[in-house]
């Protein structure tokens, strides 16, 4: 059972969490989605609303980076890119992928790699068709957000089922969830390096 402070936080999230959820998912979608899905499993949120907000939040973030690339071009990369892991060399390298495989690149990066920001800025710089960009970003987001929601809901279910027998199980499951998320991001970054390695 939750202690007094835990119940206060739970009820606060249940009544006001939706107002915070979407902005947080725009800023840091994976972490916010994982946490919201765990809370949905515990009864604080509707799981389908969490999924919809996760997809929408990701899409809003994608569009913002696309617009930055479209409006400011490489000037944005030169001035701001180094602070968020986007380099001019990387953008120039990815332009070749957009020429022949624009939609496929967006879909694969969104669902399997760790170069989302750089990819979306690059898509804007090369003036990729916006409707095509939006479509493939949406498809990739369904896979990624769906995976995170299922994973978070499972961890919440696991904690809910055995919390009465082991008081500290919540911390263990939370640690497992974080470790899983870290492992996924390491894998995504490795895939990104493979995808955009220069051909000799």
Closest C-alpha to 156, from 173, 143, 134 = 173
More confident residue, 197 or 126: 126
Contact 22, 49 (CB under 8 A): no
More confident residue, 178 or 125: 125
Specify the pLDDT at position 109: 81
Report the distance separating Cα 45 and Cα 15, nearest Å: 9
Q: Could you identify the residue written with the tokens 């969104």?
A: 110
Output the average pLDDT for the chain. 79
Is the model's pLDDT at 44 over the cut of 50?
yes
Is the model's pLDDT at 176 over the cut of 50?
yes
Specify the pLDDT at position 59: 93
Contact 145, 55 (CB under 8 A): yes
pLDDT tens profile 101-157: 778 888 888 876 656 777 888 888 888 889 999 999 999 999 989 988 998 898 888
Specify the pLDDT at position 155: 84
Q: Could you identify the residue written with the tokens 């493939």?
A: 136
Average pLDDT for 191-197: 59
Banded model confidence at residue 74, pLDDT cuts 50, 70, 90? confident
Q: Which helix (H) or strand (E) holds 198?
A: none
Rounded percentage of the chain residues whose pLDDT exceeds 70: 77
Banded model confidence at residue 34, pLDDT cuts 50, 70, 90? confident
pLDDT tens profile 86-105: 777 777 777 777 777 778 88
């Amino acid at each position: 059972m939750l202690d007094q402070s835990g119940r206060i936080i739970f009820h606060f999230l249940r009544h006001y969490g939706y107002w915070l959820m979407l902005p947080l998912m725009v800023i840091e979608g994976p972490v916010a989605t994982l946490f919201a899905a765990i809370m949905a499993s515990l009864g604080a949120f509707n799981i389908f609303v969490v999924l919809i907000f996760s997809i929408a939040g990701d899409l809003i973030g994608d569009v913002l980076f696309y617009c930055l690339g479209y409006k400011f071009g490489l000037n944005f990369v030169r001035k701001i890119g180094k602070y968020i892991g986007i380099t001019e060399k990387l953008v120039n390298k990815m332009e070749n992928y957009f020429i022949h495989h624009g939609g496929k690149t967006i879909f694969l990066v969104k669902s399997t790699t760790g170069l989302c920001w750089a990819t979306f800025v690059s898509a804007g710089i090369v003036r990729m068709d916006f409707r095509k960009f939006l479509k493939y970003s949406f498809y990739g987001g369904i896979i990624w957000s769906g995976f995170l929601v299922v994973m978070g809901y499972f961890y919440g279910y696991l904690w809910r089922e055995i919390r009465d027998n082991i008081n500290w199980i919540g911390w263990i499951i939370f640690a497992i969830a974080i470790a899983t998320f870290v492992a996924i991001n390491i894998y995504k970054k490795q895939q990104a390096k493979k995808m955009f390695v220069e051909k000799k």
